[in-house]
């Protein structure tokens, strides 16, 4: 079956391919959940971002497993993995790499930095200076690195998983809007339930479960899954729904900065990934509603009045989703469109 992806070309897809995608993704999710107890939704969102070819920002209080989730996702994939501990004295060349003079060859040669990996874990990204943070801009958007006028492509898949603590702000540099807009989604881990915390004490008390975590998927498997996700159908009505949601954030009285066109594109890609994980070859409005807050909220800037009234961007997105009319199926749409009616 050939699906119209809205890019002017057909991408081969089939129910069997989507079933295999969902099964493989569940295998990766199960491996991660063996390390992160009771956080199935956070794990699922991380998988969605991976399959959408995006980048993930994990923001929460210390000690709830932000770095553990990032490491578990990285270790579950048999690809190259590098970790960067962001500190105030970290230089851009420490991330991207540097050209060093080789005395034997009598010429400069490029020494790749840790950004050259399939999964890059950036721990406490807000502790690095803005100059170092900006070194990630080209890497995350264009998946390449330019050093001394020479451009080096990054391997596929490529995903940056960054963590930051919102309560430890002393000596930190908040991510600028341009940097936050590169992250497909922002998630929070949250405190575990009593049962999950008790299980954590039993399983993590004597050793780290990361030591037993083995790769369950190869990098080329992830590339295949990403190609399958690209073939998921997004009807024109659903695209218009995405645009309506993003446009509403730009006129919301509680916000002084709304969602960018890049945000709309990331929401579309993430919705395709969620549909594929559910075994569907088409996107429904439920996918958009589920992902609206994780994909849009971290890009929005509240007004001073909204901050005083403690109106969080997530609350504004929730209100917009509730007030924006759902798309309606047009005559001639596939039978699956009946699920649009709520």
Model confidence pLDDT, tens digit, residues 51-77:
999 999 998 888 778 888 888 888 888
Q: Which H or E run contains 85?
A: strand 81-85
Q: Beta-carbon neighbour count of residue 195 at 10 Å?
A: 10
Confidence of residue 15 (pLDDT cuts 50, 70, 90): low
**Which residues are bridge partners to 56 per DSSP?**
161, 185
Confidence of residue 288 (pLDDT cuts 50, 70, 90): very high
Could you identify the residue written with the tokens 């798309």?
Answer: 327
Just give the CATH number of 54-217. Answer: 3.40.50.300
Q: How far is CA 138 from CA 56, 70, 154, 196, 318, in A?
A: 16, 21, 11, 39, 31
Q: Is the pLDDT confidence value at 87 over 80? A: yes
Q: Is the pLDDT confidence value at 236 over 80? A: yes
Prediction pTM value: 0.86
Residue 163: closest CA among 96, 95, 83: 83
Confidence of residue 14 (pLDDT cuts 50, 70, 90): low
Strand runs (DSSP E) across 166-216, as ranges? 185-187
Average pLDDT, the chain: 85
Q: Would you call 4 helix, strand, or coil by DSSP? A: strand
Q: Is the pLDDT confidence value at 186 over 90? A: yes
Q: Does 140 sit behind a cis peptide bond, omega within 30 degrees of 0 on the bond before it?
A: no
% pLDDT > 90, the chain: 42
Could you write out the DSSP letters of every residue in 234-256? --HHHHHHHHHHHHHHHH-TTEE
Q: Is the pLDDT confidence value at 95 over 80? A: yes
Model confidence pLDDT, tens digit, residues 205-219:
677 778 788 888 888
> Of the given ranges (183-192, 236-245, 290-299), which has the lowest mean pLDDT?
183-192
Confidence of residue 21 (pLDDT cuts 50, 70, 90): confident
Rounded CA separation 317/295 (Å) = 10
% pLDDT > 70, the chain: 89
Q: Is the pLDDT confidence value at 315 over 70? A: yes
Model confidence pLDDT, tens digit, residues 127-173:
999 889 988 888 999 999 998 888 999 988 999 999 988 766 666 78
The torsion of the CA quartet 226, 183, 38, 310, rounded to 10 degrees, works out to -150
Model confidence pLDDT, tens digit, residues 258-274:
999 999 999 999 999 99
């Amino acid at each position: 079956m050939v699906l119209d992806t809205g890019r002017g070309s057909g991408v081969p897809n089939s129910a069997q391919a989507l079933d295999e995608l969902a099964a493989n993704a569940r295998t990766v999710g199960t491996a991660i959940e063996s390390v992160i107890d009771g956080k199935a939704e956070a794990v699922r969102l991380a998988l969605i971002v991976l399959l959408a070819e995006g980048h993930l920002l994990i923001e929460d209080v210390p000690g709830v497993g932000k770095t553990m989730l990032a490491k578990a996702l990285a270790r579950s994939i048999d690809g190259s993995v590098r970790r960067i501990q962001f500190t105030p004295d970290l230089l851009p060349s420490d991330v991207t790499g540097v050209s060093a003079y080789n005395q034997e060859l009598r010429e400069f040669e490029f020494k790749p930095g840790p950004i050259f990996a399939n999964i890059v874990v950036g721990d406490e990204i807000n502790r690095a200076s803005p100059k170092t943070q900006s070194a990630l801009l080209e890497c995350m958007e264009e998946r390449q690195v330019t050093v001394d006028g020479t451009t080096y492509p990054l391997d596929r898949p490529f995903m940056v998983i960054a963590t930051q603590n919102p309560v430890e702000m002393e000596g930190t540099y908040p991510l600028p809007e341009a940097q936050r807009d590169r992250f497909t989604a922002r998630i929070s881990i949250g405190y575990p339930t009593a049962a999950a915390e008790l299980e954590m004490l039993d399983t993590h008390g004597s050793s780290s479960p990361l030591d037993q975590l083995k790769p369950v998927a190869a990098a080329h498997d992830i590339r295949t899954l990403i190609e399958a996700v690209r073939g998921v159908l997004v009807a024109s009505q659903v695209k218009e729904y995405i645009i309506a949601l993003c446009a509403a954030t730009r006129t919301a009285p509680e916000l002084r900065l709304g969602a960018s066109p890049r945000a709309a594109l990331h929401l579309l890609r993430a919705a395709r990934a969620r549909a594929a994980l559910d075994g569907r070859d088409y996107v429904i409005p439920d996918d958009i509603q589920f992902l609206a807050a994780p994909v849009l909220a971290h890009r929005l800037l509240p007004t001073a009045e909204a901050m005083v009234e403690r109106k969080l961007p997530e609350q504004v997105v929730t209100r917009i989703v509730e007030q924006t009319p759902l798309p309606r199926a047009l005559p001639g749409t596939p039978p699956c469109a009946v699920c649009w009616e709520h």
